[in-house]
Amino acid sequence: MGQIALEGLEFFAFHGYYDEEQKIGNKYGVDLYLTTDLHAAGASDKLAETVNYEILYRLTLAEMQQPARLLEHLAHRILDRLMLEFPQVRRARVSVSKFNPPLGGICHRARVTLSRKRAAV
Active site positions, annotated: 98
Closest by CA to 94, choosing from 69, 111, 118, is: 111
Q: Which amino acid is at 4?
A: I
Quote the CA–CA distance of 23 and 27 in Å, as a whole number: 13
Biggest CA-to-CA distance, the chain: 53
Buried b (16+ CB within 10 A) or exposed e, 11-37: bebbbbeeeebbeeebebbbbbbbbbe
Vertex 46 angle, CA 41 and 51, to 5°: 65
